[in-house]
Structure 1
Amino acid sequence: MGNSEYRKTIDYILDLIRSGMLQVGDKLPTERSISEKLGISRNTVREALRGLEILGIVNGKQGSGNYLTDNISDSIASAMDVMLLMNRTSKEEICSFRRSMEKTVCSYLIAKGCSSDNKLKIVAALNRLKDSEGTEEQTVADRDFHYSLINATENSFWITFMNAVSEVYMRWIDDFLTTADHDVRMRLQDAHEKIVQGIITGDVEFCFRAIDAHYNIIDESFG
């Protein structure tokens, strides 16, 4: 009975989302009202809402209630952290996956045709990276550059998933960039510039070679 009531609560919330009655930022019905409407205990409703919170769908605010949110990337990143702790994956595997996915993102932008607005955003992110000074500013600019590629796809699923992967991956890169010497930084910047050049000119192979050059530098830090 408990499991079916738990599921009943989740289905109720999902139906509200599907119908458009709940949108991101909206406050959910109270635990009491859900309990009374569905004829189930408040404890079961509370457990179901906490489960949705873990998934990044609901955000509980002390003294205010529960709200529909869009933190799914955070929950995926947390799951990856658990996989790392349990030795179910490794930095090398995640970096390999991200290399492949960045190639997929760039080839998609080339095949689909990256809009002029998104090209400007990518170039602007590249220029900010080039002009950044100091380790902290450079690491932030590096993050923004790679996020600009993902966001240019305008594909919500890719953006959500890749942002989660990037969130985990970028923690290591921040540490790497903190200790990287000038030569390494220049090699990374050259790779960044060639990635953008490949996207703008529509040269997939050129872009892929630049991505490989970039991630080969990162892989060297694990050696």
Structure 2
Amino acid sequence: MPFRPVEPEKLSTAVINQIEGLILRGILRPGERLPSERELSERLGVSRPSLREAIAALQEEGLLASKAGSGIYVADVLGSAFSPALTRLFARNDDAVFDYLSFRRDMEGLAAERAARLGSDTDLQVINAVYQKMESAHDNLSQEAEAQLDADFHLAIIEASHNVIMLHMMRSMYQLLREGVFYNRQVMFKQRTTRDTLLEQHKKINTALQARNPAAARAAIDDHLGFVEQALRDEVKAQANEDIARQRFEHEKSKGPK
């Protein structure tokens, strides 16, 4: 018979399973500091030796990392998604920007559909809360905060889709976006009219999600990222035209008076 005696689970194993689950679901994020050993052992209801055993195992797995005199942190597991060489190649290649946007349009469209269907009421409240912060930053003319909240808004939609593979993959993509590898988001906030348009697009996405309308949510994502792509193409073209104009100007100055 295929039965075996049931063995009680070690406390350290239960701690490992809980922390792994929090990392897997994106609740504990890369770079986030864990509570102190005393506080964490009290929260989990386990002894410090059991907690230390669990932490050591998670460090060996590469999910946690210690910083001397600072504590235990969730490891930067996202950093392994792209090698440094490939990241530098992305940064040097303009075509990678538009491939990135195309990929985001596909993935985020699917995520928005899933979030509208599968997201909990709390998920949608989180998305709405981020959008409200975007409105506040917009009204206060805080471009940097608004750009950061832009990324947070899209990530909240990914989280609400409840697909852990998509979550970690897209978090890695957004990290490169924050670092300016694919494009500088500040480009999108140079003009008030552009910022107004972007906020309105995010409002439509949020409205569709709050109404739990998958088709409208996907369409709103598609319209938004299509606008971003065209705006960036226009910027690339404008920079090329400016370079040519400067060359003409320098050449004209070098000729001197007739």
Contact 2:90–2:96 (CA<8 Å) still a contact in 1? yes
Structure with greater Cα Rg: 2
CA distance in 2, matches of 1:158, 1:21: 21
CA distance in 2, matches of 1:155, 1:137: 27
1:97 — aligned with what?
103
User: Per the alignment, do residues 28 and 138 of structure 1 end up closer, same or farther by CA in structure 2, a change over 3 Å counting?
Assistant: same
Write out per-residue CA displacement over residues 54-76 of structure 1, whole angstroms, 9 at most, x where no aligned residue: xx646464699xx7844222321
1:141 — aligned with what?
149
Q: 1:216 aligns with which of 215, 226, 232?
A: 226
2:165 paired with 1:157 = yes
Contact 2:67–2:73 (CA<8 Å) still a contact in 1? no
1:110 — aligned with what?
116
* Deviation (angstroms), 1:213: 2.0
Q: 1:128 aligns with which of 124, 133, 148?
A: 133
Write out per-residue CA displacement over residues 114-134 of structure 1, whole angstroms, 9 at most, x where no aligned residue: 211111111111110011121
Aligned to 2:81, the other structure's residue is in SS state helix
1:205 — aligned with what?
215
1:27 — aligned with what?
56
CA distance in 2, matches of 1:21, 1:197: 37
Unaligned 5+ runs, structure 1? 1-15, 31-48
User: Per the alignment, do residues 23 and 188 of structure 1 end up closer, same or farther by CA in structure 2, a change over 3 Å counting?
Assistant: closer
User: Per the alignment, do residues 116 and 75 of structure 1 end up closer, same or farther by CA in structure 2, a change over 3 Å counting?
Assistant: same
2:203 paired with 1:193 = yes
Letter in 2 for 1:111: R
Letter in 1 for 2:120: S
Letter in 2 for 1:194: K
User: Per the alignment, do residues 29 and 154 of structure 1 end up closer, same or farther by CA in structure 2, a change over 3 Å counting?
Assistant: closer
Q: 1:184 aligns with which of 194, 201, 221?
A: 194
User: Per the alignment, do residues 102 and 63 of structure 1 end up closer, same or farther by CA in structure 2, a change over 3 Å counting?
Assistant: same
CA distance in 1, matches of 2:145, 2:92: 33
Letter in 1 for 2:130: A
Unaligned 5+ runs, structure 2? 1-11, 21-33, 35-54, 235-258
Letter in 1 for 2:154: H
CA distance in 2, matches of 1:107, 1:23: 29
* Deviation (angstroms), 1:162: 0.8
2:26 — aligned with what?
none
* Deviation (angstroms), 1:95: 1.2
TM-score, L = length of structure 1: 0.66
* Deviation (angstroms), 1:169: 2.7
CA distance in 2, matches of 1:106, 1:23: 27
| Percent pairwise identity | 19
Instruction: Count the aligned residue pairs.
Output: 182
